[in-house]
Structure 1
Amino acid sequence: MHRTAPRWLKPATEYGPLALFFIAYSAAGLLPATAVLLAATAVGLLLSLFFLRRVPVMPLVTAVVVGIFGGLTLWLQDETFIKMKPTIINAIFAAVLLGGHAFHRYPLQYVLGTSLQMTKTGWRTLSLRLGLFFAVLAGLNELVWRTQSTDVWVAFKVFGLIGLSVAFMMAQTPLILRHRPRESSRQNSREN
Protein backbone atom coordinates (compact mmCIF):
# COMPACT_ATOMS: atom_id res chain seq x y z
CA MET A 1 0.00 0.00 0.00
CA HIS A 2 1.35 3.41 -0.98
CA ARG A 3 1.16 6.25 1.48
CA THR A 4 0.76 9.91 0.71
CA ALA A 5 3.96 11.87 1.16
CA PRO A 6 4.16 15.21 2.93
CA ARG A 7 4.36 18.08 0.44
CA TRP A 8 7.91 18.98 1.42
CA LEU A 9 9.30 15.50 0.71
CA LYS A 10 9.69 15.64 -3.06
CA PRO A 11 11.39 19.07 -3.25
CA ALA A 12 13.55 18.24 -0.22
CA THR A 13 14.76 14.94 -1.68
CA GLU A 14 15.21 16.30 -5.21
CA TYR A 15 16.81 19.68 -4.49
CA GLY A 16 18.11 19.30 -0.94
CA PRO A 17 21.17 17.20 -1.89
CA LEU A 18 22.02 19.63 -4.68
CA ALA A 19 21.68 22.67 -2.40
CA LEU A 20 23.85 21.03 0.25
CA PHE A 21 26.39 20.09 -2.45
CA PHE A 22 26.60 23.74 -3.53
CA ILE A 23 26.96 25.01 0.05
CA ALA A 24 29.65 22.45 0.82
CA TYR A 25 31.48 23.23 -2.43
CA SER A 26 31.45 26.95 -1.62
CA ALA A 27 32.79 26.30 1.87
CA ALA A 28 35.24 23.43 1.39
CA GLY A 29 35.70 22.38 -2.25
CA LEU A 30 34.59 19.59 -4.55
CA LEU A 31 35.68 16.49 -2.64
CA PRO A 32 33.93 17.43 0.64
CA ALA A 33 30.91 18.54 -1.40
CA THR A 34 30.84 15.12 -3.04
CA ALA A 35 30.78 13.45 0.39
CA VAL A 36 27.90 15.72 1.42
CA LEU A 37 26.05 14.87 -1.81
CA LEU A 38 26.42 11.15 -1.12
CA ALA A 39 25.14 11.51 2.45
CA ALA A 40 22.24 13.80 1.50
CA THR A 41 21.18 11.48 -1.32
CA ALA A 42 21.15 8.52 1.08
CA VAL A 43 19.08 10.51 3.57
CA GLY A 44 16.65 11.40 0.76
CA LEU A 45 16.17 7.72 -0.08
CA LEU A 46 15.61 6.88 3.58
CA LEU A 47 13.02 9.67 3.89
CA SER A 48 11.19 8.38 0.81
CA LEU A 49 11.24 4.85 2.21
CA PHE A 50 10.00 6.04 5.61
CA PHE A 51 7.15 8.23 4.33
CA LEU A 52 6.16 6.33 1.18
CA ARG A 53 7.18 2.77 2.11
CA ARG A 54 8.92 2.64 -1.28
CA VAL A 55 11.61 4.47 -3.21
CA PRO A 56 10.54 6.17 -6.48
CA VAL A 57 12.35 4.93 -9.60
CA MET A 58 14.07 8.14 -10.76
CA PRO A 59 15.55 9.05 -7.34
CA LEU A 60 16.73 5.45 -6.98
CA VAL A 61 18.53 5.51 -10.35
CA THR A 62 20.04 8.89 -9.48
CA ALA A 63 21.18 7.59 -6.08
CA VAL A 64 22.87 4.55 -7.63
CA VAL A 65 24.77 6.73 -10.11
CA VAL A 66 25.65 9.25 -7.36
CA GLY A 67 26.87 6.38 -5.21
CA ILE A 68 29.05 4.92 -7.94
CA PHE A 69 30.54 8.13 -9.32
CA GLY A 70 30.65 9.97 -6.00
CA GLY A 71 32.27 6.93 -4.41
CA LEU A 72 34.87 6.73 -7.17
CA THR A 73 35.56 10.45 -6.81
CA LEU A 74 36.28 10.10 -3.10
CA TRP A 75 38.11 6.78 -3.31
CA LEU A 76 40.41 7.83 -6.16
CA GLN A 77 40.52 11.51 -5.15
CA ASP A 78 39.65 12.35 -8.77
CA GLU A 79 36.95 14.94 -9.48
CA THR A 80 36.45 13.64 -13.03
CA PHE A 81 33.98 11.02 -11.84
CA ILE A 82 31.59 13.41 -10.08
CA LYS A 83 31.72 15.72 -13.09
CA MET A 84 30.67 12.82 -15.33
CA LYS A 85 27.68 11.95 -13.11
CA PRO A 86 25.17 14.38 -14.72
CA THR A 87 26.22 13.10 -18.15
CA ILE A 88 25.61 9.49 -17.12
CA ILE A 89 22.27 10.19 -15.40
CA ASN A 90 20.95 12.25 -18.31
CA ALA A 91 22.21 9.68 -20.84
CA ILE A 92 20.46 6.87 -18.93
CA PHE A 93 17.19 8.81 -18.85
CA ALA A 94 17.55 9.68 -22.55
CA ALA A 95 18.24 6.06 -23.47
CA VAL A 96 15.27 4.77 -21.45
CA LEU A 97 12.85 7.35 -22.87
CA LEU A 98 14.07 7.16 -26.47
CA GLY A 99 14.35 3.36 -26.31
CA GLY A 100 10.84 3.15 -24.91
CA HIS A 101 9.64 5.47 -27.65
CA ALA A 102 11.19 3.23 -30.31
CA PHE A 103 9.25 0.23 -28.91
CA HIS A 104 6.02 2.19 -28.28
CA ARG A 105 6.47 1.92 -24.53
CA TYR A 106 6.42 5.05 -22.43
CA PRO A 107 8.18 4.66 -19.07
CA LEU A 108 7.41 8.30 -18.34
CA GLN A 109 3.74 7.35 -18.14
CA TYR A 110 4.63 4.70 -15.55
CA VAL A 111 6.58 7.22 -13.47
CA LEU A 112 4.18 10.18 -13.77
CA GLY A 113 0.90 8.47 -14.65
CA THR A 114 -0.70 8.94 -11.25
CA SER A 115 0.02 12.67 -11.13
CA LEU A 116 -0.33 13.54 -14.82
CA GLN A 117 -3.10 12.28 -17.08
CA MET A 118 -2.59 12.45 -20.86
CA THR A 119 -3.58 10.65 -24.00
CA LYS A 120 -1.26 8.07 -25.54
CA THR A 121 -0.26 10.63 -28.19
CA GLY A 122 0.62 13.09 -25.43
CA TRP A 123 2.79 10.53 -23.64
CA ARG A 124 4.49 9.59 -26.90
CA THR A 125 5.30 13.21 -27.77
CA LEU A 126 6.38 14.18 -24.25
CA SER A 127 8.57 11.07 -23.96
CA LEU A 128 10.30 11.86 -27.26
CA ARG A 129 10.84 15.51 -26.33
CA LEU A 130 12.09 14.69 -22.85
CA GLY A 131 14.38 11.94 -24.16
CA LEU A 132 15.95 14.39 -26.62
CA PHE A 133 16.20 17.03 -23.89
CA PHE A 134 18.07 14.63 -21.59
CA ALA A 135 20.43 13.79 -24.46
CA VAL A 136 21.13 17.52 -24.95
CA LEU A 137 21.75 17.96 -21.19
CA ALA A 138 24.22 15.05 -21.26
CA GLY A 139 26.08 16.70 -24.14
CA LEU A 140 26.05 20.12 -22.46
CA ASN A 141 27.46 18.69 -19.25
CA GLU A 142 30.27 17.03 -21.19
CA LEU A 143 31.04 20.29 -22.98
CA VAL A 144 31.06 22.36 -19.78
CA TRP A 145 33.10 20.07 -17.53
CA ARG A 146 35.68 19.36 -20.21
CA THR A 147 36.19 23.00 -21.27
CA GLN A 148 35.50 25.11 -18.18
CA SER A 149 36.82 25.51 -14.64
CA THR A 150 35.35 23.57 -11.73
CA ASP A 151 33.67 26.77 -10.48
CA VAL A 152 31.89 27.23 -13.81
CA TRP A 153 30.90 23.55 -13.91
CA VAL A 154 29.44 23.66 -10.37
CA ALA A 155 27.42 26.78 -11.24
CA PHE A 156 26.19 25.08 -14.42
CA LYS A 157 25.30 21.89 -12.52
CA VAL A 158 23.45 23.68 -9.73
CA PHE A 159 21.82 26.59 -11.58
CA GLY A 160 22.12 25.89 -15.30
CA LEU A 161 20.71 22.37 -15.33
CA ILE A 162 17.83 23.28 -13.02
CA GLY A 163 17.04 26.44 -14.99
CA LEU A 164 17.07 24.59 -18.29
CA SER A 165 14.89 21.83 -16.84
CA VAL A 166 12.32 24.26 -15.44
CA ALA A 167 12.19 26.20 -18.72
CA PHE A 168 11.83 22.99 -20.71
CA MET A 169 8.98 21.68 -18.56
CA MET A 170 7.18 25.02 -18.67
CA ALA A 171 7.45 24.92 -22.46
CA GLN A 172 5.68 21.53 -22.39
CA THR A 173 2.57 22.93 -20.68
CA PRO A 174 0.66 23.52 -23.96
CA LEU A 175 1.36 19.92 -25.01
CA ILE A 176 0.17 18.56 -21.66
CA LEU A 177 -2.99 20.68 -21.73
CA ARG A 178 -3.72 19.78 -25.35
CA HIS A 179 -3.47 16.05 -24.62
CA ARG A 180 -5.47 15.79 -21.43
CA PRO A 181 -8.06 12.99 -21.62
CA ARG A 182 -11.42 14.35 -22.73
CA GLU A 183 -13.32 12.76 -19.82
CA SER A 184 -11.29 14.64 -17.20
CA SER A 185 -11.59 17.88 -19.23
CA ARG A 186 -15.39 17.55 -19.32
CA GLN A 187 -15.55 16.62 -15.66
CA ASN A 188 -13.40 19.63 -14.71
CA SER A 189 -15.58 22.02 -16.74
CA ARG A 190 -18.73 20.61 -15.06
CA GLU A 191 -17.21 21.11 -11.60
CA ASN A 192 -16.29 24.77 -12.32
Structure 2
Amino acid sequence: MSDAKKINPMLKMALELGPVIVFFAAYLKLREETFLIGGTPYDGFIVVTAGFIPLMMVSTGILWKLTGHLSKMQIATLVLVVLFGGLSVWLNDDRFFKMKPTMIYLLFGGALGVGLLRGQSYLKYVMEEMLPLQQEGWMILTRRLTGFFILLAVLNEVIWRTQSTDTWVYFKTFGLSAAIFVFFMTQGSIFQKYALEEKKD
Protein backbone atom coordinates (compact mmCIF):
# COMPACT_ATOMS: atom_id res chain seq x y z
CA MET A 1 0.00 0.00 0.00
CA SER A 2 1.09 3.55 -0.71
CA ASP A 3 1.64 5.99 2.12
CA ALA A 4 0.81 8.92 -0.14
CA LYS A 5 -1.82 11.33 1.16
CA LYS A 6 -4.78 12.12 -1.06
CA ILE A 7 -4.98 15.67 -2.37
CA ASN A 8 -7.36 17.46 -4.71
CA PRO A 9 -6.84 15.95 -8.20
CA MET A 10 -6.98 19.39 -9.82
CA LEU A 11 -4.26 20.67 -7.47
CA LYS A 12 -2.13 17.60 -8.22
CA MET A 13 -2.57 18.15 -11.97
CA ALA A 14 -1.69 21.83 -11.60
CA LEU A 15 1.53 21.00 -9.74
CA GLU A 16 2.54 18.37 -12.29
CA LEU A 17 1.59 20.20 -15.49
CA GLY A 18 1.89 23.80 -14.32
CA PRO A 19 5.67 24.14 -14.88
CA VAL A 20 5.36 22.75 -18.42
CA ILE A 21 2.54 25.15 -19.29
CA VAL A 22 4.47 28.09 -17.82
CA PHE A 23 7.56 27.03 -19.82
CA PHE A 24 5.53 26.93 -23.02
CA ALA A 25 3.87 30.32 -22.43
CA ALA A 26 7.16 31.97 -21.44
CA TYR A 27 8.91 30.54 -24.48
CA LEU A 28 6.25 31.95 -26.83
CA LYS A 29 6.73 35.37 -25.23
CA LEU A 30 10.54 35.42 -25.10
CA ARG A 31 11.63 33.24 -28.03
CA GLU A 32 12.66 36.22 -30.17
CA GLU A 33 14.47 38.00 -27.33
CA THR A 34 18.18 38.02 -26.48
CA PHE A 35 19.38 38.86 -22.97
CA LEU A 36 22.85 40.11 -22.09
CA ILE A 37 23.79 38.60 -18.72
CA GLY A 38 27.29 39.07 -17.33
CA GLY A 39 28.46 40.14 -20.76
CA THR A 40 27.18 36.92 -22.39
CA PRO A 41 24.15 36.90 -24.73
CA TYR A 42 21.47 34.31 -23.92
CA ASP A 43 18.50 33.69 -26.17
CA GLY A 44 14.95 33.39 -24.86
CA PHE A 45 14.99 29.58 -24.82
CA ILE A 46 17.95 29.46 -22.43
CA VAL A 47 16.43 32.11 -20.15
CA VAL A 48 13.11 30.25 -20.03
CA THR A 49 14.96 27.00 -19.29
CA ALA A 50 16.78 28.73 -16.42
CA GLY A 51 13.41 29.72 -14.96
CA PHE A 52 11.87 26.29 -15.55
CA ILE A 53 14.41 24.45 -13.38
CA PRO A 54 13.60 26.14 -10.02
CA LEU A 55 9.89 26.16 -10.90
CA MET A 56 10.03 22.39 -11.41
CA MET A 57 11.91 21.96 -8.13
CA VAL A 58 9.37 24.07 -6.21
CA SER A 59 6.30 22.35 -7.69
CA THR A 60 7.78 18.89 -7.03
CA GLY A 61 8.69 19.94 -3.49
CA ILE A 62 5.13 21.17 -2.84
CA LEU A 63 3.74 17.93 -4.24
CA TRP A 64 6.00 15.93 -1.92
CA LYS A 65 5.05 18.13 1.05
CA LEU A 66 1.32 17.68 0.42
CA THR A 67 1.34 13.97 -0.39
CA GLY A 68 4.39 12.75 1.55
CA HIS A 69 5.35 10.72 -1.51
CA LEU A 70 7.07 11.02 -4.89
CA SER A 71 7.16 8.27 -7.48
CA LYS A 72 10.47 7.08 -8.89
CA MET A 73 9.35 8.53 -12.23
CA GLN A 74 8.82 11.98 -10.70
CA ILE A 75 12.20 11.88 -8.96
CA ALA A 76 14.02 10.74 -12.11
CA THR A 77 12.30 13.45 -14.18
CA LEU A 78 13.31 16.17 -11.71
CA VAL A 79 16.93 14.97 -11.60
CA LEU A 80 17.18 14.97 -15.39
CA VAL A 81 15.54 18.41 -15.64
CA VAL A 82 18.08 19.83 -13.21
CA LEU A 83 21.00 18.02 -14.87
CA PHE A 84 20.29 18.68 -18.55
CA GLY A 85 18.60 22.02 -18.00
CA GLY A 86 21.54 23.12 -15.86
CA LEU A 87 24.00 22.07 -18.55
CA SER A 88 22.08 24.04 -21.17
CA VAL A 89 22.13 27.18 -19.02
CA TRP A 90 25.73 26.77 -17.87
CA LEU A 91 27.10 26.07 -21.35
CA ASN A 92 24.56 28.35 -23.09
CA ASP A 93 23.64 25.43 -25.36
CA ASP A 94 20.00 24.42 -25.86
CA ARG A 95 20.91 20.95 -27.13
CA PHE A 96 21.28 19.50 -23.64
CA PHE A 97 17.75 20.45 -22.58
CA LYS A 98 16.35 19.15 -25.86
CA MET A 99 18.02 15.80 -25.15
CA LYS A 100 16.29 15.53 -21.77
CA PRO A 101 13.13 13.72 -23.04
CA THR A 102 15.38 11.26 -24.87
CA MET A 103 17.22 10.43 -21.65
CA ILE A 104 13.98 10.18 -19.66
CA TYR A 105 12.35 7.74 -22.07
CA LEU A 106 15.51 5.69 -22.49
CA LEU A 107 15.78 5.48 -18.70
CA PHE A 108 12.18 4.37 -18.28
CA GLY A 109 12.31 1.99 -21.24
CA GLY A 110 15.63 0.57 -20.08
CA ALA A 111 14.36 0.02 -16.54
CA LEU A 112 11.26 -1.78 -17.81
CA GLY A 113 13.43 -3.81 -20.20
CA VAL A 114 15.71 -4.96 -17.35
CA GLY A 115 12.63 -6.10 -15.47
CA LEU A 116 11.41 -8.04 -18.49
CA LEU A 117 14.77 -9.80 -18.78
CA ARG A 118 14.30 -10.87 -15.15
CA GLY A 119 10.78 -12.08 -15.88
CA GLN A 120 9.20 -9.21 -13.92
CA SER A 121 7.01 -6.23 -14.64
CA TYR A 122 8.39 -3.18 -12.86
CA LEU A 123 5.41 -1.30 -14.28
CA LYS A 124 3.20 -3.37 -12.00
CA TYR A 125 4.90 -1.98 -8.90
CA VAL A 126 4.23 1.58 -10.07
CA MET A 127 0.67 1.26 -11.38
CA GLU A 128 -0.81 -1.76 -9.62
CA GLU A 129 -3.19 0.29 -7.48
CA MET A 130 -4.54 2.16 -10.53
CA LEU A 131 -4.72 -0.82 -12.87
CA PRO A 132 -5.34 -4.17 -11.14
CA LEU A 133 -4.32 -6.71 -13.79
CA GLN A 134 -3.35 -10.36 -13.96
CA GLN A 135 0.38 -11.03 -14.22
CA GLU A 136 0.16 -11.95 -17.91
CA GLY A 137 -1.58 -8.64 -18.61
CA TRP A 138 1.17 -6.72 -16.82
CA MET A 139 3.87 -8.48 -18.85
CA ILE A 140 2.16 -7.71 -22.17
CA LEU A 141 1.58 -4.07 -21.22
CA THR A 142 5.17 -3.72 -20.01
CA ARG A 143 6.59 -5.11 -23.26
CA ARG A 144 4.48 -2.69 -25.28
CA LEU A 145 5.33 0.29 -23.10
CA THR A 146 9.05 -0.53 -23.23
CA GLY A 147 8.98 -0.41 -27.02
CA PHE A 148 6.84 2.73 -26.92
CA PHE A 149 9.28 4.57 -24.64
CA ILE A 150 12.19 3.68 -26.92
CA LEU A 151 10.17 4.89 -29.91
CA LEU A 152 9.50 8.22 -28.17
CA ALA A 153 13.22 8.58 -27.39
CA VAL A 154 14.11 8.06 -31.05
CA LEU A 155 11.34 10.41 -32.17
CA ASN A 156 12.55 13.17 -29.84
CA GLU A 157 16.06 12.84 -31.23
CA VAL A 158 14.77 13.10 -34.80
CA ILE A 159 12.59 16.13 -34.02
CA TRP A 160 15.14 18.27 -32.19
CA ARG A 161 17.97 17.43 -34.57
CA THR A 162 16.03 18.07 -37.79
CA GLN A 163 13.34 20.62 -36.89
CA SER A 164 13.22 24.15 -35.52
CA THR A 165 13.15 24.97 -31.80
CA ASP A 166 9.52 26.10 -32.19
CA THR A 167 8.56 22.71 -33.61
CA TRP A 168 10.37 20.89 -30.80
CA VAL A 169 8.70 22.98 -28.08
CA TYR A 170 5.25 22.22 -29.52
CA PHE A 171 6.19 18.55 -29.84
CA LYS A 172 7.45 18.37 -26.25
CA THR A 173 4.49 20.27 -24.78
CA PHE A 174 1.65 18.65 -26.71
CA GLY A 175 2.96 15.81 -28.89
CA LEU A 176 4.56 13.68 -26.20
CA SER A 177 1.62 14.03 -23.80
CA ALA A 178 -0.86 13.22 -26.56
CA ALA A 179 1.18 10.19 -27.65
CA ILE A 180 1.18 8.73 -24.12
CA PHE A 181 -2.57 9.37 -23.77
CA VAL A 182 -3.30 7.68 -27.09
CA PHE A 183 -1.07 4.73 -26.16
CA PHE A 184 -3.01 3.93 -23.00
CA MET A 185 -6.35 4.53 -24.72
CA THR A 186 -5.44 1.88 -27.30
CA GLN A 187 -4.63 -0.72 -24.63
CA GLY A 188 -8.27 -1.24 -23.71
CA SER A 189 -8.26 -4.88 -24.84
CA ILE A 190 -5.56 -5.71 -22.25
CA PHE A 191 -7.45 -3.93 -19.46
CA GLN A 192 -10.63 -5.83 -20.33
CA LYS A 193 -9.10 -9.26 -20.88
CA TYR A 194 -6.73 -9.32 -17.91
CA ALA A 195 -8.59 -7.20 -15.36
CA LEU A 196 -8.73 -8.70 -11.87
CA GLU A 197 -12.23 -9.25 -10.58
CA GLU A 198 -12.95 -7.70 -7.22
CA LYS A 199 -13.28 -10.22 -4.44
CA LYS A 200 -16.63 -10.26 -2.69
CA ASP A 201 -17.00 -10.79 1.06
Scaled by the length of structure 2, the TM-score of the pair is 0.87
Match of 1:112 in 2: 127
Where do 5+ consecutive residues of structure 1 fail to align?
A: 188-192
Matched, 1:58 2:68: no
C-alpha contact (below 8 Å) 1:9/1:48 kept by paired residues: no
- Greater alpha carbon shift after TM alignment, 107-116 vs 125-134: 107-116
Matched, 1:102 2:117: yes
Query: Cα RMSD between the aligned structures?
Result: 1.6
Match of 2:93 in 1: 78
Match of 2:33 in 1: none
- Percent of aligned pairs sharing the same letter: 37
C-alpha contact (below 8 Å) 2:16/2:60 kept by paired residues: no
After superposition, the Cα gap between the structure-2 partners of 1:113 and 1:139, relative to the gap in structure 1 and judged at 3 Å, is same
Residue 45 of structure 1: how far off its partner (Å): 1.4
Where do 5+ consecutive residues of structure 2 fail to align?
A: 31-43
Which residue identity does 2:78 align to in structure 1?
Answer: A
C-alpha contact (below 8 Å) 1:24/1:36 kept by paired residues: no
Match of 1:125 in 2: 140
- Greater alpha carbon shift after TM alignment, 66-75 vs 36-45: 36-45
* CA displacement 1:23-62 (0-9 Å, x = unmatched): 1111113112212321221122112211111222111100
Which residue identity does 2:161 align to in structure 1?
Answer: R
Match of 2:26 in 1: 24
- Greater alpha carbon shift after TM alignment, 7-16 vs 55-64: 7-16
Scaled by the length of structure 1, the TM-score of the pair is 0.91
Match of 2:156 in 1: 141
- Greater alpha carbon shift after TM alignment, 166-175 vs 86-95: 166-175
Match of 1:190 in 2: none
After superposition, the Cα gap between the structure-2 partners of 1:81 and 1:129, relative to the gap in structure 1 and judged at 3 Å, is same
Match of 2:12 in 1: 10
Which residue identity does 2:83 align to in structure 1?
Answer: I
